[in-house]
Structure 1
Amino acid sequence: MDYVLTEWDHGLDDEPYLIYSELDGGRMETRKVEFFRNGICFSYGAERGSEGALSDVPFPEDLRKITGQTGECRAKVISRQLFQEIWNQAQERPDGFMGMFF
């Protein structure tokens, strides 16, 4: 498994600005946690379901391809331990935004 943090440089409340991803041997997302500037967090994959929200294309080996020319996005490798900490913290609100209405 590999672990990646993607940071987006934007001020949009309805788009994630931090995305923590767990990748399998084929570089496909198996789990993901998204953080929004308004404080909302969503987690997908494994016991949390919603696999349809995971990327349907593999992450490139060279993460600079994600960054691209504009520089509004940066991706870097992170540790398994950091991902697990983020994943466990996201469990505090495992139903995401919609849980606020039920």
Structure 2
Amino acid sequence: MSYVLIEQNLEEEDEPRFIYAELDSGRREVRRVEFYPNGLCFAYGGDYGREEALSPAPYPEDLRTLNRPGEVTARAITPAAFWEIWGQAQERPDGFMGMFA
């Protein structure tokens, strides 16, 4: 497994500010946590289900190819950092999507 953090500095409120992802050996998402500027948090995969919301496309080996200066920064993170965020997501309400569970 590998772990990624994507930080987005986008103007849109409906786009996540931080995306944490756990990737399998094929670099496809297994779990993902999104934090939005308005405080909402959404988690996908694992205990949360909703695997259909995970990206089917593999992440590039070189995460720098996702970077757009001033807009998007992608980097590898440690497993411990991901699991800390995953634990925090379980303590937060799942926002709008929870209405449809």
Normalising by structure 2, report the TM-score. Answer: 0.90
SS class of match (1:4): strand
Q: Distance in 2 between matches of 1:90 and 1:49?
A: 14
Q: CA RMSD in A?
A: 2.0
Deviation at 1:100, TM superposition (A): 6.9
Deviation at 1:11, TM superposition (A): 2.7
How many residue pairs are counted as aligned between the two chains? 101
Change (3 A) 1:99 1:53: closer
More deviation in 92-101 or 51-60?
Answer: 92-101
1:12 corresponds to = 12
Q: Which runs of 5+ in 1 are unaligned?
A: none
Kept in 2, the 8 Å contact 1:19–1:33? The answer is: yes
2:72 corresponds to = 73
Kept in 2, the 8 Å contact 1:48–1:94? The answer is: no
Normalising by structure 1, report the TM-score. Answer: 0.89
Q: Which runs of 5+ in 2 are unaligned?
A: none
Q: Distance in 2 between matches of 1:99 and 1:52?
A: 15
User: Structure 1 stretches (4+) deviating beyond 6 angstroms?
Assistant: none
